């Protein structure tokens, strides 16, 4: 099967990191194609960045449809443009926030999200409500790291995120933490060992869920809300 992982921002180094994590978790026989729109914002930090990224996202989906892609992953924790992408895709489209929260709900009675900036908190809280996770999601916390700080080799980003996880354990009584940015995808193993709880990356969860949906022969419904856009 062929899965396209789309980083909605235009930072190629982040796309490469996300793609490497996706490929490492994919089953034998799964082809991972990691792409990003070239003209999107350099990072998705807020509502306007997300809105500006959607045209490029839809364009990548349309290219994937022409190339025989079986399913897609939106690799931004805001699940940017997810519903719009499902309209134009025949196969399943999975967002990493939805995938991460679903996984956390299966292995814990309550989880917290550790994300980048405070401005992302309302977006993630809205998604938790949308996905029916408001009773499981104990808190959404910001590490106050800009998204692009995760790309700096010498940055202390990992330790800042670890410290926020430890505070979440103490204050939220959470049993798992979902990392609220695709740029954190490479941190889960070490942070899980260091903090003593499951630290969940939505990219890996989305890969396994997309594989499962494709393997089960499930495609996006084309009746109602996710019907193909009408010709105009």
Q: Are residues 29 and 108 in the same domain?
A: no
| pLDDT recorded at residue 148 | 76
**Structural domain includes residue 197:** yes
Q: Are residues 49 and 117 in the same domain?
A: no
Which residue range(s) make up the domain with 101?
Answer: 97-201
Question: Which range among 19-23, 121-125, 156-160, 194-198 shows the weakest confidence by mean pLDDT?
Answer: 156-160
**Structural domain includes residue 225:** no
| Predicted model pTM | 0.94
Q: Are residues 57 and 117 in the same domain?
A: no
**Structural domain includes residue 190:** yes
**Structural domain includes residue 73:** yes
**Structural domain includes residue 134:** yes
Residue 121's domain is classified under what CATH number? 3.40.50.12500
Tokens standing for 210?
A: 């997309």
| pLDDT recorded at residue 127 | 97
Read off the pLDDT of residues 33-66 as tens digits, 9 standing for 90 and up.
999 999 999 999 999 999 999 999 999 999 999 9
What long-range pairs does 48-52 form, CB within 8 A, spacing at least 24? 49/9, 50/8, 50/76, 50/78, 50/80, 50/81, 50/123
Residue with tokens 């856009």: 229
Q: Are residues 197 and 120 in the same domain?
A: yes
| pLDDT recorded at residue 155 | 61
Contact 191, 114 (CB under 8 A): no
Q: Is 10 helix (H, G, I), strand (E, B) or coil?
A: coil
Residues in the chain: 232
Q: Are residues 118 and 137 in the same domain?
A: yes
**Structural domain includes residue 221:** no
Integer angstrom CA distances of residue 223 from 17, 20, 80, 197, 214: 36, 35, 22, 41, 19
What is the residue-wise DSSP string for 101-115?
A: HHHHHHH-S-EEEEE
Average pLDDT in the chain: 94
Read off the pLDDT of residues 80-136 as tens digits, 9 standing for 90 and up.
999 999 999 999 999 999 999 999 999 999 999 999 999 999 999 999 999 999 999
| pLDDT recorded at residue 182 | 82
| pLDDT recorded at residue 167 | 96
Read off the pLDDT of residues 132-156 as tens digits, 9 standing for 90 and up.
999 999 999 999 888 877 766 556 8
| pLDDT recorded at residue 152 | 67
Q: Are residues 89 and 115 in the same domain?
A: no
Q: Are residues 84 and 33 in the same domain?
A: yes
> Based on the structure, what is the number of domains in the chain?
2
Q: Are residues 67 and 153 in the same domain?
A: no
Give the closest residue to 96 by CA, choosing from 16, 8, 189. Answer: 8
Read off the pLDDT of residues 2-15 as tens digits, 9 standing for 90 and up.
999 999 999 999 99
**Structural domain includes residue 20:** yes
**Structural domain includes residue 231:** no
Q: Are residues 72 and 163 in the same domain?
A: no
Q: Are residues 104 and 184 in the same domain?
A: yes
Q: Are residues 133 and 74 in the same domain?
A: no
For the cut 70, the answer to whether the pLDDT of residue 184 exceeds it is yes
For the cut 70, the answer to whether the pLDDT of residue 200 exceeds it is yes
Residue 99: count of CB within 10 angstroms of its CB: 26
Give the closest residue to 205 by CA, choosing from 176, 227, 226, 225. Answer: 176
């Amino acid at each position: 099967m062929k899965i396209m992982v789309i980083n909605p921002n235009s930072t190629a180094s982040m796309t490469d990191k996300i793609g490497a994590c996706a490929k490492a978790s994919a089953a034998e026989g799964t082809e991972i194609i990691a792409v990003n729109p070239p003209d999107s914002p350099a990072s998705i930090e807020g509502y306007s960045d997300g809105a500006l990224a959607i045209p490029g996202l839809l364009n990548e989906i349309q290219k994937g449809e022409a190339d025989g892609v079986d399913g897609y992953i939106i690799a931004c924790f805001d699940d940017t443009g997810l519903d719009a992408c499902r309209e134009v895709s025949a196969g399943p489209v999975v967002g990493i926030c939805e995938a991460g929260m679903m996984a956390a709900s299966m292995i814990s009675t309550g989880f917290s999200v550790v994300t980048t900036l405070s401005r992302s908190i309302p977006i993630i809280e809205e998604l938790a409500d949308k996905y029916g996770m408001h009773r499981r999601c104990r808190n959404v916390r910001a590490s106050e790291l800009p998204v692009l700080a995760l790309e700096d080799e010498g940055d202390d980003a990992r330790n800042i995120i670890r410290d926020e996880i430890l505070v979440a354990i103490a204050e939220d009584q959470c049993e798992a933490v979902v990392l609220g940015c695709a740029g954190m995808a490479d941190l889960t193993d070490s942070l899980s060992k260091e903090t003593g709880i499951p630290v969940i990356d939505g990219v890996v969860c989305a890969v396994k869920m997309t594989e499962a949906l494709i393997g089960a022969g499930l495609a996006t419904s084309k009746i109602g809300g996710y019907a193909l856009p009408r010709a105009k």
